[in-house]
Amino acid sequence: MSITTGLPFAPAAAPELADVLPPRKRRGRVAMFVYRHPTIAAGGLLLTIIVAIAIFAPMLGTMDPTALAPARRTRAPNAQYWFGTDMLGRDVYSRVLYGARVSLIVGFSVAFCSAIAGMFIGLVSGFVRWMDAVVMRIMDGVMSIPSILLAIALMALTRGSVQNVVIAITVAEVPRVSRLVRGVVLSLREQPYVEAAVASGTRAPKIILKHILPNTLAPLTVQATFICASAMITEAILSFIGAGTPPIIPSWGNIMAEGRALWQVKPYIVFFPAVFLSVTVLAVNLLGDGLRDALDPRLAKRI
């Protein structure tokens, strides 16, 4: 790289930039992305693998995850049953692979639903002054019920189903999201460009849609990622204590709940779903950490 000065004569002995800095190594696009955002790359890759496992579970050498076979009860992991069989003779490998579906569905649905609901409540309460106090008092109240207990209480009211699990966890997560969005809205509405928009007669809906909403998306995405991770853990906990996904559906929490009675003699029944759950949650958390660093440098410096 040479410096063109635009002058008729060359300035004396201006060092070439190439002499000062070593030539930049050229990397491919993918390598560059991995280099700059290692946690997003690692989390994303792991999560992609888990999602692929969930989608292609029927093609990965699995059998019917609910098929009972009392003759082959509690076999230790072997060549035929990679993760062994449980006390009803069901293949743990198949159950764990199918179980990925429940965790991912619950995680993604809760993240999506609570982001949407929280965004709506946060926008309304950040913008409509008279509703702010009331809405936020309600949110404070709901927030002060520990989220797992809140989910337990809601699940006790309804039949166990994946849909109800999603609703119960969403209700527990919404207050945090709406507080976050409200905070962003309150700081944005003091910004000069929003005041300028108000002064030039832009209507409120347009201000919200064009000037406020896009700026809430970055923190909201980061928050949604962490909610996804904690929702997967909460689903497993609910199923584990018998208040979550109905036992007939193989979910990681259910497999562990069933293996619980035998864990001292047959630890592998609990072990495999536990590993899968931990790796999946780790993947989503890594993704969230990376996204936060990439999208919100100010926050990244603080935490």
Partner 1 sequence: MYAYAARRILSTIPVMAVVALFVFSLLYIAPGDPAAIIAGDQATPADVDRIRASLGLDRPFIVRFGEWVWHILNGDLGQSIFTNLPVSHMIAQRIEPTLSLMVLTLILSIAIAVPAGVLAAWKHGTWIDRLVMIMAVAGFSVPVFVVGYLLAYTFALQLDVLPVQGYTPIADGIGPWLRHLVLPAVTLGSAFIALIARITRATMLEVLNQDYVRTAKSKGVDQRSILFVHALKNAAVPIVTVIGLGVAGLIGGAVVTESVFAIPGVGRLVVDAILRRDYPVIQGVVLLFSFVYVLVNLGVDLLYTVFDPRIRY
In angstroms, the CA 109 to CA 283 distance is 17
Q: Based on CB atoms, which residue is closest to partner 1, 197 or 245?
A: 245
Single-letter amino acid code for the residue at 159: R
Q: Would you say 209 or 299 has its CB closer to partner 1?
A: 299
Cβ closest to partner 1, residue 10 vs residue 133: 133
Applying CB under 8 A, does 262 fall inside the site for partner 1?
no
- Cβ 240 to partner 1, closest distance in Å? 6
Q: How many residues does the chain have?
A: 303
Residues 47, 240, 250, 292: which binds partner 1 (CB under 8 A)?
240
In single-letter form, the type of residue at position 271 comes to F
CB nearer to partner 1: give 56 or 263.
263
**Per-residue tokens: 298:** 């100010």
Nearer to partner 1 by Cβ, of 5 and 158: the residue is 158
| CA atoms of 215 and 125, how far apart (whole Å) | 16
3-state secondary structure of 85: strand
Q: For the beta carbon of residue 77, count every other beta carbon within 10 angstroms.
A: 15
Residue closer to partner 1, measured from CB, 197 or 238: 238
d(CA 57, CA 262): 26
**How many angstroms from the chain centroid is the CA of residue 14?**
52
Residue whose CB is less far from partner 1, 104 or 233: 233
Stretch that binds partner 1, among 23-31, 51-59, 206-214, 263-271 (CB under 8 A): 263-271
**Rounded Cα gap, residues 148 and 156, in angstroms:** 12
Q: Is 251 in the site for partner 1 (CB under 8 A)?
A: no
Smallest separation, CB 77 to partner 1 (Å): 16
Binding residues among 5-64 for partner 1 as defined by CB under 8 A: none
**CB contact at 8 A, 153 and 211:** no
Contact mark string toward partner 1, 127..146, x via CB under 8 A: ----------xx-xxx-xxx
Contact between 243 and partner 1 per CB under 8 A? yes
In terms of Cβ atoms closer than 10 Å to its own Cβ (0-12, 13-18, 19+), residue 59 is: exposed
Region 271-290 residues binding partner 1, contact defined as CB under 8 A: 271, 274, 277-278, 281-282, 285-286, 289
- Give every CB contact of residue 178 below 8 A, 6+ residues apart in sequence: 117, 118, 119, 121, 122, 125, 135, 139
List the structure tokens of 42.
């690692």
> Which residue ranges make up the site for partner 1 (CB under 8 A)?
137-138, 140-142, 144-150, 152-157, 229, 233, 236-237, 240-243, 256, 263-264, 267, 270-271, 274, 277-278, 281-282, 285-286, 289, 302-303
